[in-house]
Amino acid sequence: MDWLGIEIPDDPVERIRAVRLLLEVYRRMTNPVPEETYRCVAGKRYGPYLVAYVPGSRIHPEPRFLYLGKGRGCEELLNALWRADPDELRYLATKAVRQLKAVLAGCHGLYVWEVAWRLAGTFEHPEADEEGDPLEDAPPPALEILGPWEAWYSEELASYFEA
């Protein structure tokens, strides 16, 4: 799918990862840096894994690492955000957050899997009229999906889209 000239992955879990990345860019208004990382378990090395490093800002002094998976679903979006100038970065992040805010407005009272389906469709949704923190009035399932993920969470999220 093409979103503002940037290729967005078709996989719903990768789309939610893209929404999380754009939300973090909106909060900090700094360019994310793509990095590859590896992990070692019981002496075996696994990877490479794609990670978005979002540097700290004045308001958020702690840097943030967003794990984007072993697949290359969000790689084009991450590279586009990394190369964007400040005005383009602000435009992309603001547009995504307005779309997210419009999606979250209709998610109250829904089950987690229904919220996940709606979040995966964020890039096709029309924008909300106002800006602001979209998580301010978000329902608990949306906060769970858009918040920090445990290592196993992407598999659980993928199970919502099966069947």
Characterise 138 by phi-psi region: left (phi > 0), alpha (psi -120 to 50), beta (else): beta
The letter for the amino acid at 156 is E
Cα dist from 63 to 23, 32, 53, whole Å: 14, 10, 7
pLDDT, one tens digit per residue, over 11-66 is 999 999 999 999 999 999 999 999 999 988 999 998 888 999 999 888 889 999 99
Q: Is the pLDDT of residue 101 over 80?
A: yes
Q: Is the pLDDT of residue 163 over 70?
A: no
pLDDT of residue 22: 94
pLDDT, one tens digit per residue, over 115-128 is 999 999 999 999 98
Q: What is the token pair recorded at 139?
A: 């329902």
Residues 6+ apart with CB under 8 A from 75: 34, 50, 68
Instruction: Band the pLDDT of 132: cuts 50, 70, 90.
Output: confident
Residues 6+ apart with CB under 8 A from 129: none
Q: Give the residue extent of every domain in the chain.
A: 2-155
pLDDT of residue 74: 86
Distance CA 77, CA 7 (A): 7
Instruction: Say what the pTM is.
Output: 0.90
